[in-house]
Structure 1
Amino acid sequence: MSAAQIVVIAKEPVAGRVKTRLTPPFTPAQAAHLASAALRDTLHAVAATRVHRRVLALEGLPGTWLPDGFTVIPQRGDGLDQRLAAAFHDAHRLYRLPVVLIGMDTPQVTPDLLDTAVTLLATHDAVYGPASDGGFWLLGLRHPDPSLLLGVAMSRPTTGTTQLRRLRETGLDVARMPELDDVDTAADAFRVAARAPGSRFAEALAAVGAGVSR
């Protein structure tokens, strides 16, 4: 078991509050159903990873989708950079372990990928997983420092390169993970489901996606 913790930063999957870029073509209820499936895939992948601690930094309330073995902490901050920085800080304050943080947007993530990230963090200062939309799906820090994230403009095509440059300019030795697709749009959803056909997300998309344009 690796001496590290994995933090998932997520929103409670409530209709009208999650995956709003999926509406249209999906309804708010369908988008929330897809978000719930993506979150469950992510949490179960984390649950199967060999780490000491598992943390959920949550906006909202936990539900039946949360497996056993997670410590739930509230999100803090206004912008995403603040909430990410706070999640790193709060998890590390709770458990003095290196932190690998992921979101709920990559339901194709596997325990093997997460185990690789944790292993890399044992020999590197940071681990970075780029997303195809220009952001990042994973960030690991052996010694979490909020200043590494605060002020990075999020949800832009340049977010990932800006964050990676910030890490390297600070002098950190950064290991890279494979690129994954975030689920932001309907096209993303169908692409991710095709690459993870046995996932809860793919099953949920099959249930609600009939007649939706790809």
Structure 2
Amino acid sequence: MSARLPVPGPATLLVIAKEPVPGRVKTRLTPPYTPREAATLAEAALVDTLHTVSRTPARRRVLVLDGRPGPWLPPGFDVVPQSTGGLDDRIAAAFAHCGPGTALLVGMDTPQMTADLLAGVGGDDDHDAWFGPAADGGFWALGLADPARAAALVRGVPMSTDRTGELQRHRLVAAGLTVRDLPVLRDVDTAADIAPVAARCPPGSRFAAAVRTLAGVAR
């Protein structure tokens, strides 16, 4: 079992995201959505995610961004650029922006995520890692009590496959970490994901509102 760093309190919360620019985000939604509509949905999902993180107790909040921040960014976030390389490299590098103490990274594809799901990470929870599996076989959240170990724990895990989550969790366990599993969530990757995710979003969700608006657009 790994030795935990003696830093009490809530986690550093990281959001890894891409600037919602038409033609650069959610390209698997086109068709049936246009590139601009796909970017609208991506921005709404990102805004929901950022506001959820804003409502969650945290030592620090960091947006690890591919692109430039826009008016969609709420206050209270440090913005740092994503590194180059594959997704495993970029996730590992994101943890390098944390100081000592627990860090939890989430993406921008689960707007149904709530502050309650994140609030228990860190603090008095004595696990070494936290893992949020995604319904497609990936993962939506990864937390580490010692973020300095991220490179060894994440780099080399094949990303964007239906076994990514299984392989990533195995890497954590094989390293001797105690893992707390978070609930399974569904990512927004394809048009088939839109309605099920929107149905599980909390009241006031920008993503659910955007889905309703686009549902009335003739295709």
Q: TM-score range by the shorter chain?
A: over 0.9
Q: CA deviation at 1:116?
A: 2.4
Q: Give yes or no for the alignment of 1:35 onto 2:39.
A: no
Task: Return the offset for 1:77.
Answer: 2.3
The answer (yes or no) to whether the contact 2:91–2:154 under 8 Å persists in 1 is yes
Identify the residue that residue 5 of structure 2 maps to in structure 1.
none
Q: Unaligned 5+ residue runs, structure 1? A: none
Aligned to 1:170: 175
Counterpart in 1 of 2:141? 138
- For 2:89 and 2:71, the matched residues in 1 are separated by 28
Cα displacement (A) at 1:212: 7.9
Deviations 1:24-44 (A, max 9, x none): 100000000000000000000
Deviations 1:24-83 (A, max 9, x none): 100000000000000000000000001110000000000011110000010002100000
Q: Quick check: 1:25–1:212 contact (8 Å CA) kept in 2? A: no
Q: Aligned runs of 1:1-214 on 2, under 5 Å?
A: 2-89=9-96, 91-92=97-98, 95-119=99-123, 122-144=125-147, 145=149, 146-196=151-201, 198=203, 199-210=205-216
In the aligned structure 2, how far is the partner of 1:133 from the partner of 1:68? 32
- The alignment's TM-score, normalised by the length of structure 1, stands at 0.93
Q: Equivalent residue of 2:63, what SS?
A: strand
Deviation, 1:195, is 1.2
Question: Structure 2-normalised TM-score?
Answer: 0.91
Letter in structure 1 aligned against 2:132: G
Tell me the CA shift for residue 187 of structure 1: 1.3
Give the Cα separation in 2 of the matches to 1:112 and 1:181. Answer: 17
**Cα contact 2:136–2:187 (8 A) shared by 1:** yes
Letter in 1 for 2:111: P
Cα RMSD for the two superposed structures: 1.6
Cα deviations across residues 149-207 of structure 1 (Å, max 9, x unaligned)?
A: 00000000000000000000010011100000000011101110011162110001111
Query: Do the aligned partners of 1:117 and 1:177 also contact (CA within 8 Å) in 2?
Result: no
What displacement does 1:97 show?
2.8
Report the alpha carbon displacement of residue 96 of structure 1 after superposing the two structures with TM.
2.6
Give the aligned length. Answer: 209
Displacement over 4 Å in runs of 4+? none
Partner Cα distance (1:168, 1:209) in 2:
43
Q: In structure 1, how many angstroms separate the alpha carbons of the residues matched to 2:166 and 2:123?
A: 23
Larger helix proportion of the pair: 1
**Cα separation, 2, equivalents of 1:148 and 1:210:** 45
Kindly indicate whether the alpha-carbon contact (under 8 Å) linking 1:77 and 1:86 is maintained by their aligned counterparts in 2. no
1:2 match: secondary structure: coil
Question: Please, which moves more after superposition, 190-199 or 149-158?
Answer: 190-199
From the superposition, tell whether residues 62 and 211 of structure 1 become closer, same or farther in structure 2 (CA, over 3 Å): closer
Deviation at 1:119, TM superposition (A): 4.8
Q: In structure 1, what residue type is equivalent to 2:162?
A: P
Give the whole-Å Cα distance in 1 for the aligned partners of 2:199 and 2:93.
Answer: 34
CA contact (8 A) 1:49 1:111 kept: yes
Structure 2: where are the runs of 5+ without partners?
Answer: 1-7
Q: Structure 1 CA distance, aligned partners of 2:186 and 2:121?
A: 17
